[in-house]
Amino acid sequence: MKKSGKIMFASAILAIGALAVTACGHRHHDPAQRAEWMMERVSDHLDLNEDQQAKLRAIKTEFEAGMQQYHQQRQQLFDRLAENIESPTLDKQLLMEMVETRKQAYDEIAPRIIDKVIDFHASLNAEQKKKVADKMEHFREHFQDHHQG
């Protein structure tokens, strides 16, 4: 992935993370339930209209589809790792394959999600964008405080 692509992907993830920060502290065990709960929270917090809700749902749907494929691949790799873990040495190639699988999943899904995030962002009014920016700042501060010393 090119540097500009990585920056855009990181920005998209931050934007989604900022939207998701309203979900912090609330645990759902099922990813679909968690995603749906988060969608409701974001929709309520930003007071989204129907068009904006559809755009947000498109992000969620695209992300879920991409991650479902990744999770299937990851499960196969973890099965192989579980078999390898009891050996005298870990298989470096297997570990690298796990890293590459994750990178490939992000490389494949990032452009589709970024396009949808850009579309969603364009649909927000100034007040909604301000709320997202405020949540991003709150999230950044919380993350820094939580992970320092």
Predicted structure pTM score: 0.68
| Number of compact structural domains in the chain | 1
Token pair belonging to 4: 């500009």
Question: 16 CB contacts (<8 Å, ≥6 apart)?
Answer: 59, 63, 113, 117
Burial of 74 (0-12, 13-18, 19+ CB in 10 A): middle
pLDDT digits (tens, 9 = 90+) for 76-125: 888 888 888 888 888 899 888 888 888 888 888 889 889 999 999 999 99
Work out the pLDDT band at 23, boundaries 50, 70, 90.
very low
| Domain ranges, residue 35 | 3-147
Name which of 41, 49, 50 is nearest 19 in CA terms.
Answer: 41
pLDDT digits (tens, 9 = 90+) for 47-69: 999 999 999 999 989 888 887 77
